[in-house]
Amino acid sequence: MRRILYTALAALAAASLVAPHAAQAQTKISVGLPTTPPNVVHMPVIVAKDLGLYKKHGVEVDIVALEDGVKVYRAMLAGNIDVGMSPGSVTIIGRSNGAAAKAILSNTPKFEASMVVRDNVKTMADLKGKRIGIQQPGGFADINSRAVLRAAKVDPKDVSFVTIATEDVPALVADQIDTGILHIEQELFAKTKVPTLHAIARMWELQPKTLYLVAAATEKTIADKAAALQAFVNANIEATRIIYSDKAKVMPIFIKHTGYPEKVLSETYDFMLKECIWDANTGLSDERVKFTADLMTRVGNIKEGKTPTYADVVDTSFSKKAIETLGEWKGPVCPSAAF
* 8 pLDDT higher than 60: no
What backbone torsions phi and psi does residue 118 show, to the nearest 5 degrees?
A: -80, 175
Residues 271-320 have pLDDT tens digits of 999 999 999 999 999 999 999 999 999 988 899 999 999 999 999 999 99
Residue 6, pLDDT score: 34
Is 70 exceeded by the pLDDT of residue 5? no
d(CA 253, CA 247): 10
Is the model's pLDDT at 19 over the cut of 50?
Answer: no
Report which of residues 226 and 329 the model is more confident about: 226
The domains located in the chain, with CATH, are: 5-111+209-326 (3.40.190.10), 114-206 (3.40.190.10)
Q: What is the pLDDT of residue 332?
A: 65
Q: Are 49 and 61 in contact (CB under 8 A)?
A: yes
| Whole-angstrom Cα Rg for the chain | 20
Convert the pLDDT of each residue in 92-111 to its tens digit.
999 999 999 999 999 999 99
Q: How many CB atoms lie within 10 A of CB 10?
A: 9
What is the distance between the alpha carbons of residues 301 and 42, in angstroms, rounded to a whole number?
25
Q: How confident is the model at residue 333 (pLDDT cuts 50, 70, 90)?
A: low
pLDDT tens, 217-269?
999 999 999 999 999 999 999 999 999 999 999 999 999 999 999 999 999 99
25-67: pLDDT as tens digits: 468 999 999 988 899 999 999 999 999 999 999 999 999 999 8
Is residue 281 within 8 Å of 323, Cβ to Cβ?
A: yes
Name the residue type at position 37. Answer: P
User: What are residue 301's phi and psi, to 5 degrees?
Assistant: -80, -15
- Mean pLDDT, the chain, rounded, equals 88
Q: What is the pLDDT of residue 1?
A: 37
Contact 80, 217 (CB under 8 A): no
Q: Which residues contact 79 (CB under 8 A, 6 or more apart)?
A: 218, 220
